[in-house]
Amino acid sequence: MLHEFIEVNSAEIVRRCRAKVALRSIPPPTESEIEHGVPVFLGQLQAQLRLGLTSTPEINATAILHGRDLRAQGLTVSQVVHDYGDVCQAITELAVERKAPISSEDFQTLNRCLDDAIAGAVTEFGREQNQSTLDGEVARAAFLAHETRNLVNTAILAFEVVKTGNVGLSGSTGTVLLRSLMGLRTLATRSIAEIRVLHAVQNREQLHVSDFIAELAPAATLEAHDGEVTLVVLPVEDGVKVEADRQILNAVVTNLLQNAFKFTLPRSTVTLRVGAGPKRVLIEVQDECGGLPAGNVDGLFNPFEQRGADRTGLGLGLAFSRASVEAINGRIYARNLAGKGCIFTIDLPRVVDGDLVAR
């Protein structure tokens, strides 16, 4: 079991983490980076794995303190993210070297715990930063570093298990590998879209919305099925067109769907639909999360905003989505259906007879 492996090898894991920090050139290393957070985190991770849990308040609380302490010591958010990335790499590398049996369930729990820790630390770090820095180093380095680390390490470990010949690709380990590869594809798509938004590089074209939805529906359906969620894609009226950058719009709709799959209730339904009026086209994603607690719904689009119990990720997806939709002359907003769920709407100008309709 992974918790037993961590208990037996905790000193070696910490030693390897410190060695990784010492060898790192970007961001520059400091001796204080992992003196406090990593040993405590390892102990909590071990307990979490032993109990078979997927989230504990202690992980997040320690991560928040870690982020606060590191910021007080003058470290950057990239160093915070790399600290926890080093923990994951040290554990996985040592496990592979010593041929330690790790189940696919332990893979998932390990990465969920690391996600909780990274999200907690970076969220606290980001909330204390000046707002003007949130779309700079934090949004780019933090998101890319922790998401890439998570997906690549999971894929490598799953492949190592499959390579032993003891499990097949059709089992749960193969599912973990496929999920990781799909996640990397999504991350690459979103990263390209983010760069295009940040640098105002767009390839605007007139898109038939029915074709656009049909292109992204198969991958979304597969992801929904993997999460035991039913995705309903309603028919789109023929001839409805918008003008947008295909990659940017694809990244935004995919992000909204992934959020819906993440927060909707188990074995519930997520609906993707398109409404078209004379001047506007509305692309809507509706979930069955049970509704939001009282609060400002518009605040969901702020960087680092996370209101659900699932704290994986950094809370940057909706902030990215808003910036992206505004870059293609649209707007995005959310509605709370109390006791039922949420509807996220992408609102774009409609193209009629080859010309954009006035707002």
Name, of 20-29, 112-121, 130-139, 221-230, the range with top average pLDDT.
221-230
Residues 210 and 165 in one domain: no
Residues 167 and 291 in one domain: no
Q: What is the DSSP string of 258-309?
A: HHHHHHSPTT-EEEEEEEE-SSEEEEEEE--S--PPSS-GGGGGSTT---SS
Residues 190 and 209 in one domain: no
Counting residues of the chain whose pLDDT is more than 90, the rounded percentage is 20
Q: Which domain holds residue 240?
A: 205-356
Q: How sure is the predictor about 311, in pLDDT bands with cuts at 50, 70 and 90?
A: very low
Residues 210 and 308 in one domain: yes
Answer with the one of 147, 170, 198 that is the final residue of a domain.
198
More confident residue, 281 or 323: 281
Residues 257 and 335 in one domain: yes
Predicted confidence (pLDDT) at residue 175 exceeds the cutoff of 90 = no
Residues 226 and 140 in one domain: no
- Contact status, residue 122 vs residue 81, Cβ threshold 8 Å: yes
Q: Report the mean per-residue pLDDT for the chain.
A: 74
What is the mean pLDDT of the segment spanning 315-332?
80
Predicted confidence (pLDDT) at residue 43 exceeds the cutoff of 80 = no
pLDDT of residue 53: 60
pLDDT of residue 332: 92
- The H-or-E segment that residue 333 falls in is strand 331-337
Query: Which phi and psi (to 5°) does residue 216 adopt?
Result: -90, -15
Residues 189 and 220 in one domain: no
Domain CATH code at residue 213? 3.30.565.10
Residues 26 and 167 in one domain: yes
More confident residue, 308 or 164: 164
Total domains in the chain come to 2
Residues 247 and 175 in one domain: no
Q: Are strands 230-233 and 269-276 parallel, antiparallel or unpaired?
A: parallel
Predicted confidence (pLDDT) at residue 258 exceeds the cutoff of 70 = yes
Predicted confidence (pLDDT) at residue 103 exceeds the cutoff of 80 = no
What is the mean pLDDT of the segment spanning 283-291?
94
Q: How sure is the predictor about 283, in pLDDT bands with cuts at 50, 70 and 90?
A: very high
Query: Which phi and psi (to 5°) does residue 276 adopt?
Result: -130, 125
Residues 235 and 157 in one domain: no
Answer with the one of 146, 172, 198 that is the final residue of a domain.
198
What is the mean pLDDT of the segment spanning 188-205?
64
Residues 80 and 174 in one domain: yes
What is the mean pLDDT of the segment spanning 4-26?
81
Q: How sure is the predictor about 86, in pLDDT bands with cuts at 50, 70 and 90?
A: confident
pLDDT of residue 349: 94
Answer with the one of 198, 231, 258 that is the final residue of a domain.
198
How many Cβ atoms from other residues are within 10 Å of residue 266's Cβ?
8
Residues 182 and 278 in one domain: no
Predicted confidence (pLDDT) at residue 334 exceeds the cutoff of 80 = yes
